[in-house]
Amino acid sequence: QVIKCKAAVLWEANKPFSIEEVEVAPPKEHEVRIKIVATGICRSDDHVITGALVMPFPIILGHEAAGVVESVGQGVTSVKPGDKVIPLFVPQCGECRSCLNSKGNLCSETDLGSRAGLMPDGTTRFTCKGKAVYHFAGTSTFTEYTVVHESAVAKIDPAAPLEKVCLIGCGFSTGYGAALQTAKVEPGSTCAVFGLGGVGLSVVMGCKVAGASRIIAVDINSDKFAKAKELGATDCINPKDFNKPIHEVLMEMTGGGVDYSFEVIGRTDTMTAALACCHCNFGVSVIVGLPPAAQKITFDPMLLFTGRSWKGSIFGGWKSKDAVPKLVADYMKKTFVLDPLITHTLPWTKINEGFDLLRTGK
C-alpha cells in the first residue's frame, strides 16, 4: 500500500522546510519501509540547504534516525516488520571492494556519488503534489515514513530508547569512531579536537575511552567548553584569544605538536591548521567534518614529507551494518553516554526552529 504521511520537504536551496503531505511507495525487492520515531539534525543536512553539498531538489533530507520497520519488500531477510532499526547513510552490501576489505567501510552502494537522490534502481519512493521527490543519503529521515535498501538498515536492541540511539546513526558514531577506528588513539597520547558540536564532542569521548592523557578542545564558541570538559577534554582553547595562528599555540602547549588532531568542522582553513598542529614526524590528523563543495586546499607539502599522516574518516570508519547494533549494545551497557549530546527535543513540525538552533551554535 502507498502510505500518505507528513514530511519536511525542501523545495529549493536557502529556503525553510515545508511540512507537506507526501506519498511513500511500498518497498520494492530488497527494500524496507520504516516508520521514523526520532531523527537528529546534522550539519550535513544544513550543507544541502546552503548549497555547500550539492543535491537535486525537491528533496527530503535527514540521515540520523531510529524507527520501526513497517513493511519489507521481497527477499528481505535481515529485518522484519516491528523490528527497531537505525537507517544507515553508509550502507554495507557485503560484496564490494570496501565491504570485503577489513580496512574499508565506504560501501560502493552509498548515495554519496553518481546516484545522488535515488534508490539503487534509479527511482524514488516519494511523491508530493504529483512531483517526484529525491531521497538524501539513501535514508531521508525528515518524514514519518521512509524507504531504504536492505543494505542500509541495521536491526538494534528492541529495548533501546530510539530518541537517544538515533544519534548512533551519524553524529556519535562518526566522532567516536574517528578516534577509535580511524586514528586508533593510544593510551597516554595527546589529542586536539577542532570543533565542539555533537560530532566533535563524540571525538572527545572516543579519545578519552582510548586513554588519551591530554585532550585539547578548540572552538571559537567558549560556551561549548563546559560540556567538552564534562566529556573528557583536559584543556579548552579559543583561537580568538590569541594573536598568533592556533597551530603555533598548540605546538607550544604540547612541546612540538599533538599525536592526533581532528578537524570536525568542515572548513579548509581549520583542516590545514589541524594538520600543522600535530607532531611533524609521527602526528596523525583526521578530517571528520564534511568538506565544502568546490573548495580546494593549498598547503606546504613539507608538512607531510617529514612524516605526518593525513587521513579522512567517514561514519567513523565503522562497517555500518555490523557496528551499529554493537554500538547500541555498548550504549545499553553504559559504555558511553548520549544525553549530553542532546540539547533540545522538539516536535518535528518545528524542524526549522531546530535548524536555527544549530546555526546559532545552541
Residue 214: alpha-carbon gap to chain centroid: 25
Please classify residue 23 by burial: count the beta carbons closer than 10 Å to its beta carbon, then call 0-12 exposed, 13-18 middle and 19+ buried.
middle
Task: Let me know the angle formed at the C-alpha of 66 by 127 and 111, rounded to the nearest 5 degrees.
Answer: 55
Question: Does the pLDDT of residue 104 top 90, yes or no?
Answer: yes
Residue 262 is predicted with a pLDDT of: 98
Kind of pairing between the strands at 214-218 and 235-237: parallel
Exposure string of 196-230, with b = 16+ CB inside 10 Å and e = fewer, is bbbbbbbbbbbbbbbebebbbbbbbeeebbebbee
Most confident listed range (42-56, 114-128, 158-172, 293-307): 158-172
The string of pLDDT tens digits covering residues 3-39 is 999 999 999 999 999 999 999 999 999 999 999 999 9
Cis ω for the linkage preceding 58 (within 30 of 0) = yes
Question: Does the pLDDT of residue 206 top 80, yes or no?
Answer: yes
Question: Does the pLDDT of residue 68 top 90, yes or no?
Answer: yes
Residue 306 is predicted with a pLDDT of: 97
Question: Amino acid letter at 263?
Answer: E
Look at 49-53, 257-261, 340-344 and tell me which has the smallest mean pLDDT: 49-53
Question: Does the pLDDT of residue 287 top 70, yes or no?
Answer: yes
Question: Does the pLDDT of residue 58 top 90, yes or no?
Answer: yes
Question: Does the pLDDT of residue 310 top 80, yes or no?
Answer: yes
Q: Could you give the 3-state DSSP secondary structure of residue 99?
A: helix
What share of the chain has pLDDT > 70, as a percent?
99
Question: Does the pLDDT of residue 114 top 70, yes or no?
Answer: no
Domains and CATH numbers, the chain: 3-171+317-360 (3.90.180.10), 183-312 (3.40.50.720)
Contact residues for 123 (Cβ-Cβ < 8 A; gap 6+): none
- What mean pLDDT is reported for the chain? 96
Residue 175 to residue 315: CA distance in whole angstroms: 8
Cα of first residue to Cα of last residue in the chain, in angstroms, is 41
Residue 324 is predicted with a pLDDT of: 98
Locate 230 and state its grid cell.
564534562
How many C-beta atoms lie closer than 10 Å to residue 309's C-beta? 14
Report how many helices (DSSP H) and strands (DSSP E) the chain contains, helices first: 11, 15
Residue 201: alpha-carbon gap to chain centroid: 12
How many C-beta atoms lie closer than 10 Å to residue 286's C-beta? 27
Question: Amino acid letter at 201?
Answer: L
- 270 within 8 A of 194, measured Cβ to Cβ: yes
- 285 within 8 A of 309, measured Cβ to Cβ: yes
Instruction: Specify which residues 310 forms β-bridges with.
Output: 285
Nearest to 40 by CA among 20, 69, 64: 64
Contact residues for 151 (Cβ-Cβ < 8 A; gap 6+): 30, 88, 91, 92, 93, 94, 107, 109, 321
CA distance readout (Å), 315 to 53, 63, 239: 17, 12, 27
Residue 224 is predicted with a pLDDT of: 96
Question: Does the pLDDT of residue 113 top 90, yes or no?
Answer: no
Instruction: Specify which residues 143 forms β-bridges with.
Output: 7
Instruction: Specify which residues 127 forms β-bridges with.
Output: 23, 132
Q: Catalytic amino acids?
A: 42, 44, 47, 63, 170
Question: Amino acid letter at 184?
Answer: K
- 28 within 8 A of 340, measured Cβ to Cβ: no
Locate 75 and state its grid cell.
527477499
The string of pLDDT tens digits covering residues 141-164 is 999 999 999 999 999 999 999 999
The string of pLDDT tens digits covering residues 224-280 is 999 999 999 999 999 999 999 999 999 999 999 999 999 999 999 999 999 999 999
What share of the chain has pLDDT > 90, as a percent?
93
Residue 360 to residue 353: CA distance in whole angstroms: 11
Residue 271 is predicted with a pLDDT of: 97
